[in-house]
Amino acid sequence: MRLLPVCAALLAVLVAPALAQHIPGYNYDEAKIPPYTLLDPLTAADGKPVNTAAAWWQQRRPEIVHLFEENVFGVTPANAKVPLRAKLIETDPHALGGLAIRKQIDLYFTTKGADGPKMRMLLYLPARAKGRVPVVLGLNFGGNQTVVNDPGIQPTKIWVKPKPSLVLQQVAPDEKTRGSQTEEWQVEKVLSRGYGLATIYYGDLEPDFKDASQYSIRQLFAPSNAPDSWGAIGAWAWGLSRAIDYLETDKQVDAKRIAVTGHSRLAKVADWAAAQDPRIAAVLSTESGKGGQSIQRRGLGESVYHLQHSFPYWFCPNYARWVGHDQEIPADGNLLLSLIAPRPLYVASAVGDEWSDPKGEFLSSVSASRVYQLLGRHGLPTDTMPPVDQPINSPAANVAYHVRSGIHDVTAFDWDQYLNFLDIHFRRLTRP
Ligand code: GTR
């Protein structure tokens, strides 16, 4: 996945001159940011200040959710819960050299039997754990076998569009992909710190390709071409909530301490899932960028045009309205993060990930912090962007941030900060 943003950025550079007049705000230069107004999470649509927790929960928060449903991600169908059926496929109490209990579970979305649509969860729990353990949950890009080099992981089919036909198909992943994302997932580190890890291949929910919605779990619900109908990000986020439906039933999991994580597009998914599902107790959001935790209105890095051009199926049809109008988008990253309040939120950027606009990600976290304050929690303790590799992770604050050296990626450094953050916040919650 590291190559994707690089390719997108390269493409943008190649086509930028031709597109420049159609894409206001396409730039990487802070000095060229056009004047913009940052949306205020604490001013209601009627212009009145939101200065009580009740006004936040009853008026402003639902307004913001609606803005994202209408303009960005679309509406998750009201009947979106399904009769989830879990089938344990495999378990090993001595996985990863005795470090972990491994479970592989098929989660069926219908009662229709073994052929029904399903997703495959890979769940590791620390073998030495006594009682229920907190779990970090996230979707993965390349199949469960990629997250760690464990011969016990049963690969499931992944979606590809191979050359020359470019016809979308499901194939068994190459054995070489086993453990190819070890660095990005840090499974052994997570386990040795006392956390479980649950992951699912995002293609089980919808293939990440244009015109692939016929293979999406969206087909389980009444089809809709409405301008606010949900896109793939909504479908992937829905999958995280169904994963939690299962985790709530697993006696070895502490379902009050589930953190969601994701990288890039899958961090947009984690952000949106947390906005909709209050069971998500914490969010670890790595470089979710534009359409996620960054400020679209700054017009720096990726624009609505780029997102819409390359990934129209991620969003609702209405999102196309904002092409060329980044400065007017009514649902921006700071509002998305505010929907996570007051739950612990760690926002991570990388200095080499200009496409996501790290400063926009920081400013978003600062702005959302005001909602944390309103709800009686501390947000980020400063509005000054920290130096590279110097996390702001105050034990008193429910919002943490860092900009790491390096490129668009997830690294051991990110995970070290995330686990330190969870140690602080998950310890504070009383045991169920
Ligand atoms: C890029 C996309 C970004 C980000 C990234 C990724 O091409 O434009 O918004 O989501 O993909 O997921 O790697």
- Distance between CA atoms of 241 and 225, rounded to whole angstroms? 24
Which residue, among 272, 114, 138, 148, has the nearest Cα to 198 in the 3D structure? 138
Catalytic residue selected from 264, 338, 356, 365? 264
Residue 163: what pLDDT?
A: 92
Residue closest by Cα to atom 1 of ligand 1: 5
Q: Where are any strands of DSSP class E within 209-314?
A: 253-263, 282-286
CB of 8 shorter than 6 A to ligand 1: yes
CA 336 to chain centre: 11
363 Cα: distance to centroid of ligand 1 (angstroms): 20
| Ligand 1 contacts CB of residue 407 (under 6 A) | no
Q: Render pLDDT for 396-431 as a digit per residue (tens, 0 to 9).
A: 999 999 999 999 999 999 999 999 999 999 986 644
335 CB less than 6 Å from ligand 1? no
How does pLDDT run across 261-285, given as a tens digit for each residue?
999 999 999 999 999 999 999 999 9
CA distances from 110 to 84, 147, 236, 325, 389 (A): 7, 28, 17, 41, 46
Distance CA 134, CA 321 (A): 41
- Is 264 catalytic? The answer is yes
Identify the DSSP state of 60.
Answer: I
Q: Are 385 and 160 in contact (CB under 8 A)?
A: no
> Based on C-alpha coordinates, what's the Rg of the chain?
21
Nearest ligand 1 atom to the CA of 292 is 9
- How far does the centroid of ligand 1 lie from the alpha carbon of residue 401, in Å? 20
350 DSSP β-pair partners:
404
Task: Tell me the CB-side half-sphere exposure of residue 259, using CA atoms within 13 A.
Answer: 29
* CB 340 within 8 Å of CB 275: yes
Q: What's residue 429's pLDDT? A: 60
d(CA 349, CA 38): 20
Residue 62 CA to residue 68 CA, distance in Å, equals 10
Q: Are 139 and 269 in contact (CB under 8 A)?
A: yes
Is 306 designated active site? Answer: no
| Nearest atom within ligand 1 for CA of residue 7 | 7
Give, for ligand 1, the residue of 355, 356, 410 to mutate: max count of ligand atoms closer than 8 Å to Cβ.
355
pLDDT of 112: 75
Q: Which DSSP helix (H) or strand (E) runs through 233?
A: helix 232-247
pLDDT at 14: 44
Which H or E run contains 244? helix 232-247
* DSSP state for residue 74 in the 8-state scheme: -
Residue 43 is classified by DSSP as B
Ligand 1 touching residue 301 (CB < 6 A): no
Which regions in the chain score pLDDT beneath 70?
1-26, 428-432
For residue 43, which phi and psi values (nearest 5 degrees)?
-125, 120
| Boundaries of every domain in the chain | 3-427
Q: What are phi and psi of 77, to 5 degrees?
A: -55, 145
Among candidate residues 263, 402, 408, 425, the one labeled active-site is 408
Residue 5, ligand 1, Cβ within 6 A? yes
Among protein residues, the one whose CA lies closest to atom 11 of ligand 1: 5
- The neighbouring-strand residues paired with 431 are none
Q: For 3-427, CATH number? A: 3.40.50.1820
Asked if 337 contacts 272 with a C-beta cutoff of 8 angstroms, the reply is no
Whether the Cβ atoms of residue 415 and residue 359 lie closer than 8 Å to each other: no
The whole-number pLDDT of residue 27 equals: 82
Helices 61-71 and 265-276 cross at an angle (nearest 10°) of 140
Q: How far is the CA of 355 from the centre of ligand 1 (A)?
A: 8
Where is 71: in which H helix or E strand?
A: helix 61-71
Number of other CB atoms surrounding residue 30 within 10 Å: 10
Give the pairing of strands 100-108 and 85-94.
antiparallel
Query: Residue 176: how many CB atoms within 10 A of its CB?
Result: 7
Q: Looking at residue 378, what DSSP letter applies?
A: B
Which amino acid type is present at position 306?
A: H
pTM of this prediction?
A: 0.94
Q: How far is the CA of 135 from the centre of ligand 1 (A)?
A: 26
User: What pLDDT was estimated at residue 26?
Assistant: 64
Given a contact cutoff of 8 angstroms between Cβ atoms, the answer to whether 168 and 161 are in contact is: yes
Closest CA to 259 of 235, 286, 233: 286
